[in-house]
Chains A and B, each alone.
Chain A
């Protein structure tokens, strides 16, 4: 029973390590490639990013998405 439990724990730990490694690798790709490309396209076609645009935007904007009906409140966005 002790050996079985130890083996199960070891298997779980390996799975966790693998998962973490895969996640890091995936996020690395998403960040450097995916976001890099997105940023390049944004600058190329939009001419600016949000960071560079703030001075041109007004401080106050009309509120959006504050609906008070059940259907919109069931949405996560």
Chain B
């Protein structure tokens, strides 16, 4: 029976690969982690090699490859887009076409020449891949599905329904009416990098007021059928230059120079954009709830990484349960393409639950060698000792690099490639920034809490295992968690169940025993501008080149004072 499928996403941003076998997810990883280049977009050669090795197979054992879009349809949209913006988009046209003519239209040939693979290649429509990435691993027998991103081939938003192995897309909105592109346009207007800065803008929103909301509503009007439009007079998605027009700048004020000072106007703009996004998403999800009568909702697409909006959906859409897969953006397209083939086409059973820990591990012998070759003094500890020692250092305000087990799939660190701190410390955000991360001061750090204690600290009903919801911190606990409280009182929580990550759970529990607060600050293990660390060598490099206090990698514990 055909069972092994390799899903691929690449050529735009966030290349990734995912291997599924008989309906189970064997491995998945983003190419950026191997190349050490954020948002790497090329063919994910390293990621796919890892996936095959994790599955103990070679490319010869694959039954199929599944790609996360229909390239010819996408090209048609790209060409039409250039036609619309003719004659001012030649620069972008030349750059884009050079890439397209390279290998984007010849994936089967490319697979043969790069890998020696001549089996079947499936092309799953982009939003269908997104929908599949959320629905199939959700654990819901039946659910409504909403996908929202920048743009796939033509679709920017889709509504659908999943039941059992069947997944159906019912309707779509099309380019250029795109919530993802709107968010990116304003992100770039605010001086942040597109595909990178959207999360920063979401964090900035809490510092402003939505004074521009009405004006934004005017240029993104809602439609009688519950959708929305983007007025093209204000935006330019031709790819040549800015994503917004001079008319936009006239209306909202000068754009912010990257790295320039942030003022009240910028915060207000971020707040207005966030409010509008939440409004639109609520309208879409409330409409979907009324239409489908489903109790469960699956969300995917890059916009589904907006955890503040996700919380609003959870609170007010009418859906009782909401699932967002950890790699909800384009990297997750590789998972979705593979899942669609595996479940919809081949009929394999769906997994009961999804683990985000799908990337490479590092063996103890390798870690030992890396630490030895780096000239670091280290101790090898049992799990109990490791958690106890780490918890003790955290409780003393130390910053600890924590690298364990298999790497996370998706942008969030979920306790396997994390930098940890004490959430009770009022200056912990500044300390982590000073010692390692060097992020903008307004960006919050997020908490990881024992799942069984989550409700004591946060206004959260269900689980939030992938840090994709932002519930409010309970009023009486705000003073206990100053390091993770955002000005709006919310926090991007990760609830940790023992079954999902026993070691991380044990660490948080140890911290809880010492301090009475089973919550830690959890941010991704990387320096600014770099992807999350993948291998032990990278963790050691960050440790050595930063002022992190301790490093816990595998069973090995390193302290800066002793080195």
Touch A–B, Cβ below 8 Å: yes
Q: Which residues of A contact B (CB under 8 A)?
A: 23-24, 27-28, 30-32, 35-36, 38-39, 42, 49-51, 54-55, 58-66, 68-70, 73-77
Contact call A60/B225, Cβ cutoff below 8 A = yes
Contact A42 B83 (CB under 8 A): yes
Whether the pair B345, A68 counts as a contact (CB closer than 8 A) is yes
- The residues of B with any CB-CB pair to A shorter than 8 Å are 66, 70-73, 76, 80, 82-87, 90, 93-94, 97-98, 101, 105, 107, 120-125, 127-128, 155, 158-160, 166-174, 176-177, 223, 225-229, 232, 340-341, 344-345
Q: Which residues of A contact B225 (CB under 8 A)?
A: 58-60
The residue that A77 contacts in the complex, of B66, B72, B173, with Cβ under 8 A, is B72
Determine the chain B residues whose CB is within 8 A of the CB of A23 once the complex forms. 98, 101
| CA gap between A23 and B95 in the complex, in Å | 11
**How far is B82's CA from A42's CA once the two chains are assembled, in angstroms?**
14
Task: Determine how close the nearest CB of chain A comes to the CB of B226; give it in whole angstroms.
Answer: 7
User: Which B residue's beta carbon lies closest to that of A57?
Assistant: B174
Which residues in B have their C-beta under 8 angstroms from that of A68?
Answer: 166-168, 340, 344-345
Within the complex, the shortest CB–CB distance from B432 to chain A, in Å, comes to: 43
Q: Please name all residues of chain B whose beta carbon is closer than 8 Å to the beta carbon of A35 when the two chains form the complex.
A: 82-83, 86-87
Contact B124 A73 (CB under 8 A): yes
Q: For the A-B complex with A54-B177, A68-B344, A73-B345 known, give 6 more contacts whose Cβ atoms are closer than 8 Å.
A: A32-B90, A59-B177, A60-B172, A63-B171, A65-B73, A74-B123
Q: Is the interface of B mostly helix, strand, loop or mixed?
A: mixed
Q: Are A60 and B227 in contact (CB under 8 A)?
A: yes
Cα separation A38 to B125 with both chains bound (whole Å): 27
User: Contacts of A77 on B, CB cut-off 8 Å?
Assistant: 70-73, 76
Give the Cβ gap from A29 to chain B, nearest Cβ, in Å.
11
Q: Which of B84, B169, B227 contacts A51 (CB 8 A)?
A: B84
Output the least CB separation between A74 and chain B (Å): 6
B97 partner, pick from A27, A38, A61, A74, beta carbons under 8 A: A27
Instruction: Give min CB distance, A42 to chain B, whole Å.
Output: 7
Contact partners of A36 in chain B: CB under 8 A: 86-87
B169 A66 Cβ-Cβ under 8 A: yes
Q: What CA separation (Å) do A3 and B227 show in the bound complex?
A: 65
Bound Cα distance from A35 to B242, whole angstroms: 22
* In the bound complex, CA of A69 to CA of B340 (Å): 10
Chain B residues near A24: list those with CB within 8 A: 94
Identity of the chain A residue whose Cβ is nearest the Cβ of B67 in the assembled complex: A76
Structural contact, B341 and A39, CB atoms closer than 8 A: no
Q: Are A73's CB and B72's CB within 8 A?
A: no
Residues of B within 8 Å of A31, CB to CB, are 82, 86-87, 90, 93-94
Q: Which residue of A lies closest to B131 (CB)?
A: A66
Task: Give the 10 A-B residue pairs with the shortest CB-CB distance, closest first.
Answer: A59-B227, A77-B72, A59-B223, A51-B84, A66-B169, A63-B169, A73-B122, A76-B72, A68-B344, A60-B171
A-B contact pairs, 6 of them (CB 8 A): A31-B87, A51-B232, A60-B171, A73-B66, A76-B70, A77-B72
For residue A70, which residue of chain B has the nearest CB? Answer: B345
Do residues A27 and B83 form an inter-chain contact, with CB atoms below 8 A?
A: no
In angstroms, Cα B72 to Cα A21, docked, is: 25
Q: Which residues of A contact B170 (CB under 8 A)?
A: 62-63
In contact, A59 and B97 (Cβ under 8 angstroms): no
Complex formed: what's the CA distance from A75 to B121 in Å?
9
Task: Give Cα A66–Cα B171 distance, bound, in whole angstroms.
Answer: 10
Checking B82, B155, B176, B345 against A54 with a beta-carbon cut-off of 8 angstroms, the contacting residue is B176
Shortest CB–CB separation between residue A33 and chain B, in angstroms? 11
How far is A61 from B157 in the complex, measured between Cα atoms in Å? 10
Q: Are B105's CB and A76's CB within 8 A?
A: yes
Set A32, A49, A63, A73: member contacting B172, Cβ < 8 A: A63
Q: How far apart are the CA atoms of A31 and B164 in the complex, in Å?
A: 47
Partner of B122, one of A39, A49, A59, A70: A70
Q: Are the CB atoms of A66 and B168 closer together than 8 Å?
A: yes
For the complex, what is the distance from the CA of A61 to the CA of B371, rounded to whole Å?
57
Taking CB atoms, residues of chain B closer than 8 Å to A65 are 70, 73, 125
Q: A31-B93, A35-B86, A38-B83 are in contact. Are A63 and B344 (CB under 8 A)?
A: no
